[in-house]
Chain A
Amino acid sequence: MRPHTLADAVELLSGGDPDVKILAGGQSLVPMLNLRLLRPAVLVDLNGVPGLDTIAPDAGGGLTIGALVRHADLTAAPLVIERAPLLAKAARHVGHAAIRHRGTLGGSLAHADPAAELPAALVALDARFVLEGGKGRRHVSAADFFQGLLTTALGPDEILVEAHVPPQGPGWGFAEIVRRSGDFAVAGVIAHVRRRPGSAVRCDVARLVGFGVGDRPVRFRAAEDLLLSDDDGLSIARVAGAVACDPPDDVHASADYRRHLARILTGDVLGHALERTEGARRS
């Protein structure tokens, strides 16, 4: 089905039938169909619904990004590069160009692969998502949106419509370990911090988000708490050492190795984030 309005799309989902699936970019969904892992009776193609693919500036310095914005456009849009460079960077690491030309922000978020870059980026940016369903529109924070392995807050009749991304600070870092360029991450970490004036390491805003190290994007709370603490002997190494997570074991890597990567990548991205802050401060 190819609805022409959002209302029609929502209507098509209104039965709550699990055999009705949304088709956006198709880069995650269609492989599952081809492999017969999913057998939807109906695909609701959102690509015909206008107004879902825009990137607009918010009054507060942030962005509103439509769910159907393609990854390729996230990487290239001047507004994103300027206001949410972390997001542009994360999007660049999704697959290859052909995948990024079709894959959408909304699709990636709704699919919620725990090793995906964009869900973690939006958690790090403290984004809010707008969901539209039979009962109307509601907002869910990124933190609350990702609820488990491939599981989100989306109800069976809801569509993710857009993401509101607050203004991003200069203190950010992104790193991932992949087996090959463009693969899903074995593990990755995103830092989005605001360094406390007068401190080398301590911050007054701290988000350290791991991907590929849990069943959803993982905030490294203990490490963040250290950054937010008053401990003036703090070092990057100590923060990294406090990273705790419960990663999966699979064919690509063990939990132990992922945990190790989470720690060292946290050190790396925190270092980058603090350097960027320094650079921004000076410039």
Chain B
Amino acid sequence: MIEPAERMAIRLTVNGREIAREVTARRSLADFLRDDLMLTGTHVGCEHGVCGACTVLVDGRSARSCLLFAVQLDGATVTTIEGLTPPTGLSPLQQAFCDRHAMQCGFCTPGMIVVSTELLEKNPAPTAGEIREALAGQFCMCTGYVNIVKAVEQAAATARGARGEAS
């Protein structure tokens, strides 16, 4: 039986770096990332898994960090928005988001980038409908989604162009 205040050791890889920490059992992954690792790019919007703001990649697949406990991530690989941002400049997807003004307040944007990254890896040529479906679990209150869809389309086209494929 673990007391609420008792801390457990976990080792995980976050954005490519090995991390060893001690956490209480009740610490969510979202709070762990934000408060223990100072990775504040992942945002909390609802804490019940609906709004998608907290979405990160766990072992390569998108997951709600508000619905995971940090202790569950022992041995896992986590990628946050910080890990999807290159050391200098922006990724092509991020650049497309800027080109298209696919954000306004920016609170939903890290989650949108995470899910869009996953979408484009699985489906390099998504239709607008497929993009909307993939993003249906990510709320945005500012943009009305229009420019976000356009940004993902642009990023997909750019990537295909870079690979020498027809658009």
The interface of chain A, by Cβ under 8 A from chain B, is 1-2, 23, 26-27, 30-31, 34-35, 41-43, 45, 47, 72, 95-99, 101-102, 180-182
Contact = CB atoms under 8 A, between A and B. Distances in A.
Contacts of A99: 49, 64, 137
Contacts of B47: 31, 34-35
A101 B49 contact: no
Contacts of A27: 49, 64, 67
A11 to B, nearest CB: 13
B123 to A, nearest CB: 11
Contacts of B69: 23, 26, 30, 43, 45
Interface core residue of B67, B133, B134 (most chain A CB under 10 Å): B67
B115 A98 contact: yes
B137 A95 contact: yes
Contact of B67 (A26, A97, A181): A26
Contact of A97 (B2, B49, B66, B134): B134
B68 interface: yes
A30 B62 contact: no
Given A34-B66, A98-B137, 7 more contacts: A26-B72, A30-B49, A43-B69, A72-B61, A97-B118, A98-B55, A98-B115
Contacts of A101: 58, 61-63
Contact of B25 (A34, A35, A43, A182): A43
25 contacts: A2-B71, A2-B72, A23-B69, A26-B68, A27-B64, A30-B28, A34-B47, A35-B47, A35-B48, A45-B72, A72-B61, A96-B136, A96-B137, A97-B62, A97-B137, A98-B64, A98-B115, A99-B49, A101-B61, A101-B63, A102-B58, A102-B63, A102-B68, A180-B136, A182-B137
B134 A31 contact: no
A2 to B, nearest CB: 7
Contacts of B136: 96, 180-182
Per DSSP, chain B at the interface is mixed
A138 to B, nearest CB: 28
Interface residues of B, number: 27
B110 interface: no
B25 A102 contact: no
Contact of A42 (B1, B68, B133, B137): B1
Contacts of B49: 27, 30-31, 98-99
Contacts of A180: 136
Interface core residue of B58, B63, B115 (most chain A CB under 10 Å): B63
Contacts of A35: 47-48
A97 B136 CA distance: 9
Interface core residue of A43, A96, A102 (most chain B CB under 10 Å): A96
B67 A31 contact: yes
A168 B66 CA distance: 37
Contacts of B55: 98
A48 to B, nearest CB: 9
The 4 closest A-B pairs by CB, nearest first: A96-B137, A31-B48, A101-B61, A98-B62
Contacts of A96: 52, 136-137
A42 B115 CA distance: 32
A98 B52 contact: yes
B49 to A, nearest CB: 5
Nearest to B25: A43
Contacts of B63: 98, 101-102
A182 B137 CA distance: 8
